[in-house]
Amino acid sequence: MKRIFVDIDDTILDFKKDSIEGLGKVYRHYNIPVTNETIDVFKKVNQELWKSYELGELTSEAIFNQRFGLIFNQLGFEIDDIRQVDNFYRQTHIDAYSILPGAESLLQSLFPTYKIYGVSNGKTGRRRLHQAQLSHYFDGIFLSEDMGYQKPQSQFFEYIGSKIPNYRKEQVIMIGDTLTSDILGGNQYGIPTIWYNPERLENKTEIVPTRETDQLAEIPVILTQLFS
């Protein structure tokens, strides 16, 4: 049976939208202006910390313990309990489940033909897919917090394979939006990869996906080609 590993955040669920809406609630609560500049500070700090997580340099708990300290410091604000701020931020979107346009149609089209497995470096993907009423499309959901490994580590993918009955690596393709975790991880594990790149970002890395698309609707055709 052909199988697909699908990244959850920003490939199926619109995590960027939900997280920025949650950030706005945090900023307003602490009387910080919600502007493109203050949002960009969050994006830059957050992205750098999660890249360190992908490299195994930080745990998720370490991120939560320092993230808003770094952000508030750059914004020139002081706060006593940084972890409380981070808890508040994560609570603002723990149940948020905005679905990317075309994502449910994609799952509907893939469901009859493929075994679909949701994969994520986050810890709320299972809950949010359930809230979005998309869980029934997935034959399994694998989160780094449950596994002790994270993308792009090969152990992340090996762990998943060990939990799937009648698993064959040559029957798997990885789909995701992030080069440094989804695509690099799939490449290192030795499976074909599809980079979902809706913003048509320039690839400034040495990470080469097997295929690239900016349209979720193109993925079924690409899968047919790769599996042929």
Residues assigned a catalytic role: 7
The DSSP-derived string for 59-75 is: -HHHHHHHHHHHHHHHH
What percent of the chain is helix, strand and coil (3-state, nearest 5)? 50, 15, 35
d(CA 5, CA 122): 15
The DSSP-derived string for 14-57 is: -HHHHHHHHHHHHHHHTT----HHHHHHHHHHHHHHHHHHHTTS
